[in-house]
Amino acid sequence: MGFLVVDRVSHTYFTEKTAVTALENISFTVEKGEFVSFLGPSGCGKTTLLSIIAALIKPTKGTVFVEGKTLDCARASAGYMLQQDYLFPWKTIEENILLGLKIMGTLTETTKKRALDLLDYIGLKGVETHYPSQLSGGMRQRAALVRTLATNPKMLLLDEPFSALDHQTKLKLEELVWQTLKDYEKTALLVTHDIGEAIAMSDRIFLFSTKPGKIVRTFIVPDELRRLSPFAARQHPQFSALFQSIWKELDQLETNK
């Protein structure tokens, strides 16, 4: 059995007037240490899927297993990173990165030191006493990554974490996140609508159709690209070949609607 098993998950949002099905019959397995991307147009339920895996919402149908256990038992096993950093502006960077540990009641000298070491690793040494407003967008998103990793989650859920950044910062951060996840051997799920980002970072790509969200195709990223860091992968000839085929597939999805 895989590290993460999503078994026939469907989710419908109810309001008094409508019932909108966001996800329909999603099943897949992710191995430990694997990097998987969900690619698709907006409104295909990608964020809903991440919220279900993060145990924030309960799916209408289906089950999610982490290391063979259902989600209720494995609560808060995932670290979640949002589109924006959502650092708390009234807390210092140190207070922000220790927030998860504090909430989970696992803040000790050891875990605190680990979080501060992580801050150092990610290149933010010396900003502990700063407030988020004193940092640039890229630095803030890096601090948010430290906050997510500080609790040592089993897997990382990335919900378009680079979409609010300028292109150069985004490329640098992709590189940094990729390297960090490889160093700490984390399983990661990335939601994105950027084809290039999905290819550059992941091992496998699930292509989603919209309304309702369904997995229409799975792309396996070739070994040559997987071994390369995101920036190097973008330069590889195989990259544009895969880009083209995903592009065509997405285009077809749009026209078939």
Partner 1 sequence: MKQTNEQIHSFHQQYIASRKKEKRLIRFFQLAIFVSFFSLWEVASRQHWVDPLLFSSPSAIWDLFVQKLADNSLVTHTFITLLETLLGFIIGTVAGACFGALLWWFPRLAKTLDPYLVVFNAMPKVALGPILIVALGPGFTSIIAMGVIISVIVTTIVVYSAFQEVDANYLKVLKTFGATRYQCFKEAVLPSSFPTIISTLKVNVGLSWVGVITGEFLVSKLGLGYMIIYGFQVFNFSLVLMSLLVIALLSTVMYQAVSIIEKKLMKHR
Give yes or no for residue 42 binding partner 1 (CB under 8 A): no
**Is the four-CA dihedral 230, 234, 236, 240 of positive or negative sign?**
positive
Q: Which of 168, 78, 187, 180 is nearest to 121 (CA)?
A: 180
Half-sphere exposure of 112 (CA within 13 A, CB side): 9
Give yes or no for residue 73 binding partner 1 (CB under 8 A): no
Q: How far is the CB of 254 from partner 1 (least distance, A)?
A: 29
Give yes or no for residue 79 binding partner 1 (CB under 8 A): yes
Encoded tokens for 225: 């690209």
Give yes or no for residue 133 binding partner 1 (CB under 8 A): yes
DSSP string, 91-115: S-HHHHHTHHHHHHT---HHHHHHH
* Three-state secondary-structure class, residue 116: helix
Select 147 or 214, whichever has its Cβ closest to partner 1: 147
| CA atoms of 71 and 58, how far apart (whole Å) | 9
Give yes or no for residue 75 binding partner 1 (CB under 8 A): yes
| Residue type at 91 in one-letter notation | K
Which residue is associated with the tokens 């988020």? Answer: 132
Which of 54, 189, 190, 253 contacts partner 1 by CB under 8 A?
54
Give yes or no for residue 151 binding partner 1 (CB under 8 A): yes
Q: What DSSP character marks residue 236?
A: S
Which of 76, 164, 216, 228 contacts partner 1 by CB under 8 A?
76
Give yes or no for residue 215 binding partner 1 (CB under 8 A): no
Which of 13, 86, 121, 243 contacts partner 1 by CB under 8 A?
86
Q: How far is the CB of 86 from partner 1 (least distance, A)?
A: 5
Give the interface with partner 1 as residue ranges (CB under 8 A): 54, 56, 75-76, 78-80, 82, 84, 86, 88-90, 99-100, 103-104, 131, 133, 151
